[in-house]
Amino acid sequence: MKKITLLLLLLSVNQLYGQSRTFFSLSGGILYYNGDLNDKSPVPSTKIFRNYGNAAIGIHLTRHVNLQLNYYHGSIEGADSLTKERDNKQRNLSFETRIDEISFQLSASLFSNRTKKLAIPYVFAGGGLFFFNPRARYYGSNPDYYGKLVSLQPLGTEGQYITEGDYPKPYKLYQAVFPIGIGTYIRINPKWRLKVEFSEHFTLTDYLDDASGKYPNMEALSLTPKGELASYFADRRLNRSQDPSGRNRSNATKNDNYIHFGIGLVYNPQAQHPTRYRGPGFWKKLFSGRKGWWGNAGNGL
């Protein structure tokens, strides 16, 4: 359903604006997670670097401003075993999840998209939705699950399915996301550009890693519908001599996010020659008589 929705949006945008201002992009690179399972690490371990792919369609609103519809697909992971903080190592949590993001982004470049310069730096920001499902591998005593990836959200590892007490509700597996980043276009010819970019995707959830808040009452947790698995994934300390109930399990004041660094190709069906570039009447009227970094519509965008 998500892929069909994305395809319909791409087709509608292309039909509305035509190919004169439309461009397409494909890119890929590194995606990694920033959250509670590596918050004690000043530099993320390369062991949590995963791949992503990105497809986008955009329109040149002016020579300096672009609007894009993006689809990102990749995965992220994190593990306490990779940190240097002793208590986190003992906590021994881990997770992995697929990331599917659909977002609109507005970008502004330092130079015109029709410049003769080789490099065109730009900044961008936007918003959208992403879908995730944190999972972890089970190595407990139950042979039915041993070595398998188990979805963590249905377990309620922080007491979401305990009927009594002040516990959080189950979190949703889709949330808002706000990508903000920088990049550089490198001209290959009037139709093709190379792009290199870095972006942090800020989310409105602290549950990318299924960890936020405090340990629940462990005895009550064991009595929930999936209590055996919930208890195992809530606290994976090898030494369980002390009951962690009520202690902080993670930092609930900071949301999780993910970061990408990638490289890609941009294709403009209409060659972007450094010549006059008159846009549709709407844009000429909008910018008529206004001079600035976006250009003068009276002389072409």
Give pTM, 2 decimals: 0.82
For residue 300, the model assigns a pLDDT of 40
Q: Are residues 48 and 98 in the same domain?
A: yes
For residue 90, the model assigns a pLDDT of 80
Q: Of 15-29, 104-118, 157-171, which range is least confident?
A: 15-29
Q: Are residues 123 and 152 in the same domain?
A: no
Q: Are residues 121 and 149 in the same domain?
A: no
Q: Of 130-139, 215-224, 285-294, which range is least confident?
A: 285-294
- What average pLDDT does range 102-112 have in this prediction? 93
pLDDT confidence tier of residue 112, bands split at 50, 70 and 90: confident
For residue 273, the model assigns a pLDDT of 72
Q: Are residues 61 and 190 in the same domain?
A: yes
For residue 244, the model assigns a pLDDT of 81
269-288 burial: b if 16+ Cβ within 10 Å, else e: eeebeeeebebeeebeeebe
pLDDT confidence tier of residue 100, bands split at 50, 70 and 90: very high
- Residue 137, pLDDT > 70, answer yes
pLDDT in tens, 117-129: 889 999 999 999 9
Q: What SS3 state is found at 15?
A: helix
Total structural domains in the chain?
Answer: 2
pLDDT confidence tier of residue 12, bands split at 50, 70 and 90: low
- What average pLDDT does range 230-259 have in this prediction? 84
The more confidently predicted of residues 125 and 40 is 125
Q: Are residues 84 and 228 in the same domain?
A: no
Q: Are residues 51 and 180 in the same domain?
A: yes
Cβ-count burial of 150 within 10 angstroms (0-12 exposed, 13-18 middle, 19+ buried)?
Answer: middle
Query: Which residues make Cβ contacts (< 8 Å) with residue 129, sequence separation at least 6?
Result: 101, 102, 103, 174, 175, 176, 177
Q: Are residues 162 and 71 in the same domain?
A: no
Q: Are residues 263 and 243 in the same domain?
A: no
Q: Are residues 223 and 282 in the same domain?
A: no
For residue 102, the model assigns a pLDDT of 97
Q: Are residues 150 and 85 in the same domain?
A: no
| Containing structural domain, residue 142 | 137-169+214-247
DSSP for 64-113? Answer: SEEEEEEEEEEEEEEEGGGSS-HHHHHH--EEEEEEEEEEEEEEEESS-T
Q: Are residues 57 and 94 in the same domain?
A: yes
For residue 298, the model assigns a pLDDT of 38
Amino acid letter for position 4: I
- Sequence-separated contacts (24+) of 223-228 with Cβ below 8 Å: 224/156, 224/161, 224/162, 225/161, 226/154, 226/155, 226/156, 226/161, 228/140, 228/142
Q: What SS3 state is found at 167?
A: coil
pLDDT confidence tier of residue 246, bands split at 50, 70 and 90: confident
Query: How many residues are present in the chain?
Result: 301
Backbone angles phi, psi at 218, to 5 degrees: -65, -30
Q: Name the average pLDDT for the chain.
A: 84
pLDDT in tens, 181-198: 999 999 998 889 999 999
Beta bridge partners of 131: 100, 174
For residue 288, the model assigns a pLDDT of 55
Structure tokens at 137: 């591998």
Cβ-count burial of 165 within 10 angstroms (0-12 exposed, 13-18 middle, 19+ buried)?
Answer: exposed
pLDDT in tens, 47-85: 889 999 999 999 999 889 999 999 999 999 999 888 877
Q: Could you give the CA distance from residue 99 to residue 130 in angstroms, rounded to a whole number? A: 7
For residue 123, the model assigns a pLDDT of 97
CATH number at residue 181: 2.40.160.20
Q: Are residues 264 and 223 in the same domain?
A: no
pLDDT in tens, 261-292: 999 999 988 777 765 544 444 445 555 555 55
- What average pLDDT does range 286-301 have in this prediction? 47
